[in-house]
Structures are given as structure tokens and as C-alpha cells.
Structure 1
Amino acid sequence: MSASVGPSISFKNLTLGYDQHPAIHQLSAVIGAGSLTALVGPNGAGKSTLLKGITKVLSPYEGRIVIDDAYSHRIAYLPQQTDIDRSFPVTVWDMVSMGLWRRIGAFGQFKRRDAKSVAEALEAVGLSGFERRSIGSLSGGQLQRMLFARLLLQDANLILLDEPFAAIDAKTAADLLALISRWHSESRTIIAVLHDFDQVRAHFPQALLLARECIASGPPSRVLTDNNLTRARQLCESFDNDAEPCSREKVA
């Protein structure tokens, strides 16, 4: 599997929110093409909201998100584990095979090569032999491995990961970091919401510190400074959730 160089992403005076209350306010920043970027910030900083804006789950109240690549529709999105309904009666094989939807379509025929691709993806994440297990029977680490197998099959050039290492064991985190490094070496654009600053410093060349606006972006050594982190925390703590709603209509 291979992807063309991932797109760059520009946020231009971007405001996103819920019920006309901004969760991100007048954000201006750029994510470089083919970059590996950690999206960091305090709780309530708007990190997950920004990913939802990129995937068009949320539409801007103001400003724009510009993805400058002809293949920008090839987006793979990993939500937080808490957003996955583990009671849904589906097997690991069926869940992973959903990653082939772009290739075979809703009514396409599942071919031998597709079954081989699913098996290879499961092997790549260490889940060979789990094919017929229900997703509800998986541990947190096993569930995340399964979701990464589905990402492998999507073969996207823009990959969005929302807290990919939350509530998983150290071995699983190390294996999944190796997969992310592989995607980065293939020039895909990757954005991951993270909380572990040591992990960011060790594995992510770029970071964007968010506190409803861009506090800093660039190499983690310049972004994750005490002054920047203090400013981000203060901005989130001082934000007025009862402020007047946005007066403008959502931008189409």
C-alpha cells in the first residue's frame, strides 16, 4: 500500500463550535504537507473539535479550512475509544474489512485479494487469530490494534488520530508508534491528539499547542515551553462558556 504525499492544511481565521458557542476561536495555523504533528493542549482546548472540522463533521462559523491536495478526500479518522460502540455485534474481521470501503464501495464484491489484504493488516498489528472475535471481547489495546488495522486498509494520505494511546498498554503503544513512523516515512500527513509530552518530544517532529487559538507551532522543543503551557492553561481556564453565541451563520 502507498499514498501520494499528504496534503498541507491551513486554518484561516477559523471558528468552530457547538450551538453557536465557539470551541475554537479565530484559529490561524498551517500543518505542513507530509508532516507528523502532535496536537496538544489542556482539556477543553478544542483538539477533538479541530479534527471534526477537518473531517467536515463540523462546519465553520467563521473562516476556512483549506486542504490543498487533489486527494484530500482520502482522509482516515480514528476517533477516541469512548466513541466506539463495543456492544455492536460485529467481528474483528468485519470491522477491519470496513477499511476497504473506498476500494470496493458499498455494493462491491469482496474478492480474494481483499481477504488477503485484511489478513495482512491484522498480522501487521499483531491480531492474527482474532478474526472471529467480537469487538466487545477485546481489551483496550487489542481494540486499538484493530482500529489501526482498519486505518492501514484505508490507505489514506491524511490520517487523523484522536488520543490513539489512551488507556492502552506500553507494548501496544510502542507497536502503534512504529506504524505511525512508517506512515510518516511514506510522506502521509498525520495529526495526532496527544497528552504525553515526553511521547511528543520523542516521536513527533512537529507540535501545535492549542487553547481555542494557536499558542505555538513548530518543533516540540520550541512549542512545549513552560511559558507556552502556562499561557495555554490560563486561556482555557479564563474562557467564558456562557459568552454570547456567535452572531454569524455557519459557513458552507
Structure 2
Amino acid sequence: MVTLEGLSVSYRRHPALHHISGRFARGSLTAVIGPNGSGKSTLLKSIAGLLPATAGRVAVSVPRARIAYLPQLAEIDRGFPIDVRDCVLLGCWPTQGAWGGVQGVQLARVDAALHAVGLEGFERRPLGALSSGQLQRVLFARLLVQDADLILLDEPFSAMDGKTTSALLALVTQWHRQQRTVIAVLHDDAQVRRHFPQALLLARELVAWGPSAQVLTEANLARSRSMAEAWDETAGGFGIIPPQPVAHMQEAAA
């Protein structure tokens, strides 16, 4: 589904990702993990086509309209004057476009999506009146309406209560059963071990990639922390204290 070939990304000549290579198999469910500032969100934005590569490339085997991207909640403008139903209807944008009319079938999909996330009766409530957990449910409903083949989730369970997290994890599991490709940035190692068969461990460079049990070892996690600390933030380019050889990368399997 997604192939990374020597992908490097920088912001104002400061490195965010450095020479990442590997493949996300079609239908795979992968957690992207690593220390703060390790390039996890940058990787998702690069796959979504929102950030250009400094070097290397990203190849995605589906059209842009078949990619769904959920940013971090902190990036959502809750003050924008839109209600729950219209926000979920934006999931129709890739197929309907700016001028396409909304038909009964699209409205039915919105109602079904709101039912699936437990928000019946919230249709006309403004986004600004929602709790963080309710807003995240709305955004997941929009993903359901979008019906994408490749789903990118940036910290989808951050600051969520246990009930909301369980409900949203159930949707992620459903997408996996439907053979959609899901890539999610996460911070909870235990959650990754329980629910995500594959993991990619980053520290701006690739540390390990493969089955979660093999990636989430104490040695790999310690190595990712030391690599993240080794980066020279003041370097004009990709300045790094040379690390030991990274762990063997494995192709993500479905």
C-alpha cells in the first residue's frame, strides 16, 4: 500500500526524518511509535502528501481520494462555526467535490456513522460545545463516511477516556478486518502490544519495523531514546552523532 524509499524530511534545515525505507502491506495495521520529536507525525503527513520530501520519496498505491487523514485534536479549530452533521458530511468531499450535491444516500451514511460512534441526537450540536472525546468520535464518524482504503491516525486516543478509547479501537479493529490499511501514531506501548500486529519504531531514523512483539523490546526502546538524544538540534542539516547499526527492518505484513 505504501512504500518509503530513503525518505528524509526537514523543517528549515532541521531534520525530522532521515532515510526511512520500508513498506506498509495492504491491509496491515501498524502503530508508529517513538520518543517525542522522533518524526512520527511528520511521517503521517508525508504519506498523506501534506509535507514534501527533502530526499527520497513516498509511493502510495491508491489515489489521494482514497486516503483518510486524522490530525491531532490540537490541530482542530473548535471555534469554526460548523455543527456535527456538517462536519461528518465533509467525509463525502473526496467523492462529491466542492460543488457536488449531497443526496439521500450520503445523509444515510452520516446517520449510520453517528450511530456507530454513539452520537445519535448530536447532529445539530456545534463542534465547540463538544468534549474532547465527543469531538474525536465525530472525526471517526467522518472517517467512516469517507470510506478510505488507507487510514492515517495521529494520536487518535490521546487524552481520551477509557470508554471512548475502547469504542474507537473497535472501529480500528473493524477497518483491519475489512482489509483497509491503518497506520496510527501511538504512545501507549501496552495498547500497541494488545491491538496492533505491526509496529514501526522511530527516532528520526528507523530503529525497528516488524511484528510488535519483536519491535517493542527493552533494547529497541532504549536505543530509540539514545538515538533521539543524539540528534544535534543546532546542526544546519542532518547532523547526528553516529549510532550503532539499527535493528533489522522487516516488511510489515497484513
- Do the two structures share a fold, i.e. TM-score over 0.5? yes
Report Cα offsets for 1:125-163 as digits up to 9, x if no partner. Answer: 000000010101111110000000000011100000000
Q: Secondary structure at the match of 1:145?
A: helix
Calculate the aligned-residue CA RMSD, in Å: 1.1
State the shift of 1:71 in Å.
3.9
The equivalent of 2:149 in structure 1 is: 157
One of 204, 207, 212 as aligned partner of 1:215: 207
What letter matches 1:107 in structure 2? W
Q: Counterparts of 2:143 and 2:38 in 1: how far apart (Å)?
A: 26
The equivalent of 1:77 in structure 2 is: 69
Residues 15, 61 of structure 1: 8 Å contact kept: yes
The equivalent of 1:3 in structure 2 is: none
What letter matches 1:111 in structure 2? Q
Q: Counterparts of 1:102 and 1:58 in 2: how far apart (Å)?
A: 19
Q: Which runs of 5+ in 1 are unaligned?
A: 1-6, 247-252
State the shift of 1:113 in Å.
1.5
One of 45, 52, 55 as aligned partner of 2:48: 55
Q: Counterparts of 1:39 and 1:110 in 2: how far apart (Å)?
A: 35
**After the TM superposition, which residues 168-247 of structure 1 pair with which residues of structure 2 at under 5 Å, given as runs?**
168-245=160-237
The equivalent of 2:16 in structure 1 is: 23
The equivalent of 1:11 in structure 2 is: 4
Residues 12, 65 of structure 1: 8 Å contact kept: yes
Give the number of equivalent residue pairs.
Answer: 238
| Aligned structure 1 segments of 4 or more residues deviating by more than 3 angstroms | 70-73
Q: Counterparts of 2:130 and 2:66 in 1: how far apart (Å)?
A: 28
Report Cα offsets for 1:95-115 as digits up to 9, x if no partner. Answer: 010001122221111111211
Residues 17, 49 of structure 1: 8 Å contact kept: no
Report Cα offsets for 1:7-42 as digits up to 9, x if no partner. Answer: 2x1211110121122200111122111100000000
Q: Counterparts of 2:11 and 2:171 in 1: how far apart (Å)?
A: 34
Residues 12, 64 of structure 1: 8 Å contact kept: yes
Length-normalised TM-score, structure 1: 0.92
What letter matches 1:56 in structure 2? G
Instruction: Please say which of residues 96-105 and 31-40 is displaced more in the overlay.
Output: 96-105
One of 140, 146, 165 as aligned partner of 1:148: 140
State the shift of 1:46 in Å.
0.2
Residues 65, 94 of structure 2: 8 Å contact kept: no
What letter matches 1:193 in structure 2? V
Q: Counterparts of 2:128 and 2:51 in 1: how far apart (Å)?
A: 29
Length-normalised TM-score, structure 2: 0.91
What letter matches 1:10 in structure 2? T
Q: State the identity as a percent.
A: 54
Q: Secondary structure at the match of 2:100?
A: coil
What letter matches 2:198 in structure 1? Q
The equivalent of 2:120 in structure 1 is: 128
Q: Which runs of 5+ in 2 are unaligned?
A: 239-254
State the shift of 1:70 in Å.
4.2
Residues 201, 220 of structure 1: 8 Å contact kept: yes
What letter matches 2:27 in structure 1? G
Q: Counterparts of 1:148 and 1:73 in 2: how far apart (Å)?
A: 17
Residues 71, 157 of structure 1: 8 Å contact kept: no
Q: Secondary structure at the match of 1:23?
A: strand
